[in-house]
Structure 1
Amino acid sequence: MGYVFDFHDARNYDGWMLKRKNRFAADLESRLMLGMLDPAAGESILDIGCGTGASCLPLLEKGLDVTGIDPSPYMLDILSETLGNRVSLYRGVAEDLPFDDNSFNHACLFTSLEFVDNPQKALEEAFRVAKDRVFIGFLNRYAITGIGRRVRGIFTPTIYNRATFFSVWEIKGMVRKLMGPVPVCWRTVCQLPGPWSTWMKQIEGSGLVQRFPFGTFAGMVVTLLPRFRTRPLAIRYQPKKVGHMAAGTAGCSGMAPSNGFETSHRQSDEKR
């Protein structure tokens, strides 16, 4: 199951999102997700580890049919208060999703893979319930910000003490192990220091900056290919009944074969 956010964690996270700097960073991450996932309005998506709804709201604004699942009832309560009935909510864990195969067009794990016990199983479940694309957003292990968070966690208890950080190559390796050579694309958000303005968003959105592998937040889109299961089928075969043989054939079958002596004897009698 991994770490489940309690009441204080949920409130602290919701308060953290109210700060302008953090909202700016969250907006950059959401832009990256929507730009890479490129969903069409009306399509369905499952937000795995939806939390208090930081990733749900941009999906709703895009016109998607959003379903959220999270193991924390406190997170789901805050999300329900914020978005009401606009999102279908379920309580559950990423490693065991209560949905059928191919139930959604897309699925996303938005900074939720860090808090599960079995990341590979969580990815496998996401690939199972989605039929088009899966977005994986995670905190970069090799980002300067990520290193700083881990160092601060040594001296001060933080939620990041419960998190497992990943690199782009680690996530890509897990995807390849599960799905084989499917199309995979990754980008990052560097969260460069500076004023939080429109031109900063343009810099962060440039292809050159997003291809930097050590950005604070990394996003990866996996395009799912159709996979077919085959099973052997028993073929029922009933031989046709043999019909009656022709009369002439039946008569001939009862005749004894003649030999050469009998034939030559008959011919000599006729000459006499």
Structure 2
Amino acid sequence: MGHVFDFRDATHYNEWFLKRRNRFAADLESRLMLGMLDPVAGESVLDIGCGTGASIEPLLERGLDVTGIDPSPYMLDILAQNQGERVSLYRGYAEDLPFDDNSFNHACLFTTLEFVDDPFKALEEAFRVAKDRVFIGFLNRYALTGIGRRVKGIFTPTIYNRATFFSVWEIKSMVRKLMGPVPVCWRTVCQFPGPWAGWMKNIEGSQLVQRFPFGTFAGIVVTLVPRFRTRPLAIRYQPKNVRGVAAGAAGCSGMAPSRGFGNTPR
């Protein structure tokens, strides 16, 4: 089940995104998600662990049919107040999604794996319900900010004490075990901790910079390849009754009979 955000956690989480200094980082993360997922207006997407809707708003702005699911009723309440009827909301867990196979074009896990009990099962479920692409956004284990958060958690209780940090290579390894050699692409943003300026957006938007594996937020997009299950079928065949000589023998009917010993002249 993992960590379920209570009322206090949900309130602090929502307040964090409302602060101006955090909006720049949130915008970079959303841009990375949309750029890698590359959805088309009208397609459906499932936001797994949608929280208060920080990752849902840019999806709605792209014109997508968005469904959100989260185990915290407090998170869902805030999201419902902010987005109203624009989103279909469900309460549930990433490891046990209440949807049929291939129900959505895409699925997103936006800082969700950090707080689930079984990340492997959560990924498996995301791959099951999506049919085109899955975006996995997570807090990078090897980022300077991530290291600082873990050190701070030693001395001060924070929500990050309940989080599991991953690296790009760990997520890719899980994807390969589940899906085999499917196309996988990764990027990172928020490379430079500290105060943000407008010119930083151009640097952070560079694909070359995003290939550095030390950004605070990492994104992986998995392109799903259809897999077909086959089974042998018995072929029922009833041979026709053949009358007369075989075709091969009939083809030799014009040939003269060979002379046997009885025809040998004396």
- Give the TM bin, normalised by the shorter chain: 0.7 to 0.9
Give the AA of the match of 1:43: E
2 CA distance for matches of 1:70 and 1:194?
31
Describe the SS at the equivalent of 1:124: helix
My pick for the range that moved more, 31-40 or 197-206, is 197-206
2 CA distance for matches of 1:182 and 1:29?
24
Displacement over 4 Å in runs of 4+: 234-237, 239-243
1:24 maps to 24
Change beyond 3 A, Cα 1:220–1:64: same
RMSD of equivalent CA atoms: 1.7
Describe the SS at the equivalent of 1:29: helix
2 CA distance for matches of 1:141 and 1:241?
71
Q: CA deviation at 1:191?
A: 4.4
Superposition pairs of residues 87-166 of structure 1, within 5 angstroms: 87-166=87-166
1:176 to 2:176 alignment? yes
1:86 maps to 86
1:213 maps to 213
What TM-score results when the alignment is normalised by the length of structure 1? 0.85
Q: CA deviation at 1:193?
A: 4.3
1:45 maps to 45
Change beyond 3 A, Cα 1:231–1:52: same
Gaps of 5+ in 2: 245-266
Gaps of 5+ in 1: 247-272
1:14 maps to 14
Q: CA deviation at 1:231?
A: 2.9
Give the AA of the match of 2:3: Y
Give the AA of the match of 1:140: N
CA contact (8 A) 2:104 2:129 kept: yes
2 CA distance for matches of 1:220 and 1:108?
10
1:251 maps to none
Give the AA of the match of 1:89: L
CA contact (8 A) 1:25 1:191 kept: no
CA contact (8 A) 1:190 1:209 kept: no
Change beyond 3 A, Cα 1:213–1:191: closer
What TM-score results when the alignment is normalised by the length of structure 2? 0.87
CA radius of gyration, larger in: 1
1:253 maps to none
2 CA distance for matches of 1:145 and 1:118?
24
CA contact (8 A) 2:134 2:221 kept: yes
2:263 maps to none
2 CA distance for matches of 1:44 and 1:29?
20
Identity value in percent: 84
2 CA distance for matches of 1:83 and 1:234?
55
1:269 maps to none
1 CA distance for matches of 2:101 and 2:15?
36
2 CA distance for matches of 1:131 and 1:193?
36
Q: CA deviation at 1:234?
A: 4.9
1:167 to 2:167 alignment? yes
Q: CA deviation at 1:190?
A: 2.6
Give the AA of the match of 1:11: T
CA contact (8 A) 2:191 2:214 kept: no
Q: CA deviation at 1:21?
A: 1.3
2 CA distance for matches of 1:195 and 1:118?
35
Superposition pairs of residues 188-227 of structure 1, within 5 angstroms: 188-193=188-193, 196-227=196-227
1 CA distance for matches of 2:62 and 2:7?
30
Q: CA deviation at 1:236?
A: 5.3
My pick for the range that moved more, 185-194 or 127-136, is 185-194
CA contact (8 A) 2:49 2:110 kept: yes
2 CA distance for matches of 1:80 and 1:152?
33
Q: CA deviation at 1:24?
A: 1.1
1:57 maps to 57
CA contact (8 A) 2:56 2:66 kept: yes
1:70 maps to 70
Q: CA deviation at 1:22?
A: 1.1
1 CA distance for matches of 2:127 and 2:169?
18
